Amino acid sequence: LLAEDGSVAASIFAEMSALAARTGAINLGQGFPDEDGPAEVLEAARQAISDGVNQYSPGRGQPVLLEAIARHQQRFYGLKLDPGSEILVTAGATEALAATILALIEPGDEVVTFEPFYDAYGGLIGLGGGIHRTVPLRAPDFQPDLDALRAAVTDRTRLIIVNDPHNPTGAIFPRETLELIVKLAHQHDALIVTDEVYEHLTFGAPHIPIATLPGAWERTVTISSGGKTFSLTGWKVGWLSAPAKIVTAILAVKQFLTYVNAAPFQPAIAVGLDLPDAYFAHIAAEMKGKRDVLATGLRAAGFAISVPQGSYFIVADATPLGFTDGADLCRRLPELAGVVAVPIAAFCSPAHRGEYAPLVRFAYCKKIEFLEQASAELAALK
Ligand code: PMP
Ligand code: GLN
């Protein structure tokens, strides 16, 4: 986890945001929106501070948020959760992932993820002493080969980590793939951890939480966060849901990670989760419009792209433009085109980086004017 000179190695996201700040380039690297979320939610946090919601919260989270999460899971997915025992509030999805992985694996256990994978998975599996096995997702559709998935899950597998909709590819797994994951988890007595932070950012097929599939709930930890759904990534309010016994095991770890989470943001995110259906439809439609603007721009600039079905991100292949090393391209892109992107290799294990070398990720969770400006500047690469 340390850089060669012994300092803390910056995450690729921090490194690329620093590059954007230094060069004044348009930041399509780190996935955060450049407009804040709903006014009601912002106001609720201000109100909570004024009302004195400023001291430690209960360890599992404030009841008002636990109840809102339960209502949300019921409204959108028909899942009935007990807010007192089956939900845990965390410091973003990141702490939910950390506490879950550290609670559920023993050193030497195998953990299966798809690849490319969100960088925290690799770091956390390493912190827990786990052995990371990956199933490749390949362009253009970034769907797993089901035989490769079958081969990766064995009796040594403790966890299968799913990320649907997927960062960085924007892929959404069809029901058959999710069903196979559940079947394999049963066959090999593994648990499923599903990171659904982009659950409301899907552009066609509605999101299917894997926990809603037959036989899945009892062995699944479902993770989400208010960051993406409410365009409030800096608030770091996340949560997980699972059967009570699993939540208790995760709580045992969580108490020593953060103990409890920031108080005034919890009732505010509860307000967000109770917003009418129209809000959730609106953010998906808005994000789809942004996806389309950037997709058109990247194609016109000469990239080969895969059109994402969800999330914040488009993967672009720079090969047609004569670039075979995405990491090198990303370092030079501010100078070449005034834009920052992230190499897909940053989401890969060292052994597989080469297979994804020419691919870069662009985030479209930005104002349309910046997406258009970035598209115009990228056209200069040809
Ligand atoms: N999982 C995925 C797939 C993500 O893209 C992110 C980042 N935004 C996170 C987890 C972390 O979410 P949070 O900021 O809520 O910790
Ligand atoms: N999830 C965001 C991304 O993929 C940001 C994550 C981060 O900064 N760690 O860009």
Name, in order, each residue with C-beta under 8 angstroms of 239's C-beta and a sequence gap of 6 or more. Answer: 61, 65, 69, 87, 88, 89, 90, 96, 223, 224, 225
Q: From the CA of 198, which ligand is nearest?
A: 1
pLDDT, tens only, 244-256:
999 999 999 999 9
Measured in angstroms, how far is the CA atom of residue 30 from the centroid of ligand 2? Answer: 5
Atom of ligand 1 nearest to the CA of 96: 16
Measured in angstroms, how far is the CA atom of residue 16 from the centroid of ligand 2? Answer: 11
Q: Judge whether 161 and 121 are in contact, CB under 8 Å.
A: yes
**Ligand 1, pocket-test mutation among 69, 94, 223, most atoms within 8 A of CB:** 94
Ligand 2, CB cutoff 6 Å, lining residues: 11, 13, 30-31, 167
* Residue whose CA is at the smallest distance from ligand 1 atom 3: 167
Measured in angstroms, how far is the CA atom of residue 379 from the centroid of ligand 1? Answer: 31
Q: Judge whether 65 and 240 are in contact, CB under 8 Å.
A: no
How far apart CA 334 and CA 380 sit, in angstroms, is 12
* Reported ipTM: 0.97
Give the pLDDT confidence score for residue 12 in this predicted structure: 83
Q: Judge whether 186 and 88 are in contact, CB under 8 Å.
A: no
Q: What is the mean pLDDT of each run of 10 residues along the chain (382 residues)?
A: 66 87 94 96 98 98 98 98 98 98 98 98 98 97 98 98 98 98 98 98 95 98 98 98 98 98 98 98 98 98 97 98 96 95 96 96 98 97 89
* Residue whose CA is at the smallest distance from ligand 2 atom 2: 31
How far apart CA 273 and CA 65 sit, in angstroms, is 9
* Residue whose CA is at the smallest distance from ligand 1 atom 15: 92
Give the pLDDT confidence score for residue 16 in this predicted structure: 87
Which domains are assigned to the chain? Answer: 12-30+278-381 (3.90.1150.10), 52-273 (3.40.640.10)
Q: How many CB atoms lie within 10 A of CB 130?
A: 22
How far apart CA 378 and CA 339 sit, in angstroms, is 8
Q: How far is CA 289 from the centre of its chain?
A: 20
* Residue whose CA is at the smallest distance from ligand 2 atom 9: 13
